[in-house]
Homo-oligomer: A and B are copies of this chain.
Amino acid sequence: MDLHSMDTYIKSLIKEAGHRIRNSFLVDITIETKSDANDLVTNIDKEIEQFFISRIRRDFPGHRILGEEGFGDTFEDLDGVVWMLDPIDGTMNFVHQKRNFAISLGIYENGIGKLGYIYDVVNDDLYHGIQGGGAYYNDERLRPLFDTSIEESIVGINATWITPNRYIDHEATIRLVQHVRGTRSYGSAALELAYVASGRMDAYISMRLSPWDIAGGKVIAEEVGAVTSNFKGEPANLMKQDTFIVANPSIHHRILSEYIRLK
């Protein structure tokens, strides 16, 4: 792959998709429910995924597509070039707020992250990363993350994970909330990854994320030195839903070892 020309192509594609999403605000949005009321799907989500797929099939016929809405390919491995796409990450925000959502896209070659994009559509803010080439917030290069401490950190964690749940001992996460400087929850995994990459938060953790939620952000975050893994400390598995943490490298291990107790 020629990463530079791919990058130019993808930026243009993402901006066009963003334009389509902003235009959709002018018409009503039809909402279906998928598995439960928390998992809202809109027709815009589907349209945008199909827009990406049609362009990728036309311009990169050898590539495969893993998309949240399921119009892409089915996967048994990550061989070759795979586009991992969430056309609207933060669907609940999209529906309720018409903001605080993002297009999330990662391009992987044989399972290795090559290019990552998180596009905050409403603010027209694009975060992107190129493996070995750095991470960027619009045209500004993001700095490597400075060391920090738990006590000085802002951590992205949804209140759900502070309540009794099937994944982790919530008494341990209660201690995390009490020890950090502050917690936030913005409602979009992709934007929260972008916030960690740009030093606006120091960690973000979630109990169940899918490959398309993290694929783009992982490339961006790792370019500034952030560490990503599941809660066992293993590299994120891009074939299935799993626990996920992205953190400043100086606190990643301590969060997992002191504050996360898997059930």
Contact = CB atoms under 8 A, between A and B. Distances in A.
Interface of A: 37-38, 92, 96-99, 123, 151-152, 154, 157-160, 162-164, 174, 177-178, 181-187, 195, 199-201
B183 A160 contact: yes
Given A159-B177, A160-B183, A164-B174, A154 B92 contact: yes
B160 A177 contact: yes
Nearest to A123: B123
Nearest to A92: B182
B159 A38 contact: no
Given A162-B162, A182-B187, 17 more contacts: A37-B181, A92-B182, A96-B154, A96-B199, A96-B200, A97-B200, A99-B200, A158-B182, A159-B159, A159-B183, A160-B178, A162-B163, A162-B174, A162-B177, A163-B178, A183-B185, A184-B185
A188 to B, nearest CB: 10
A195 B185 CA distance: 14
5 contacts: A99-B200, A160-B178, A163-B177, A183-B185, A184-B187
Question: Nearest 7 A-B pairs (CB), nearest first?
Answer: A97-B200, A162-B162, A159-B183, A163-B174, A185-B185, A159-B177, A159-B159
B182 A38 contact: yes
A184 B157 CA distance: 9
How many chain copies does the complex carry? 2
Nearest to A187: B184
A163 B183 CA distance: 12
A182 B100 CA distance: 14
Contacts of A181: 37-38, 92
Contact of A183 (B158, B177, B182, B199): B158
A200 B186 CA distance: 12
Looking at A152, A162, A183, which has the most chain B CB atoms within 10 Å of its CB? A162
Find the residue from A160, A163, A187, A201 having the highest chain B CB count within 10 A: A163
A160 B157 CA distance: 11
A225 to B, nearest CB: 17
A152 B186 contact: no
Contact of A195 (B92, B97, B160, B164): B97
Contacts of A162: 159, 162-163, 174, 177
A101 B242 CA distance: 33
A152 B38 CA distance: 9
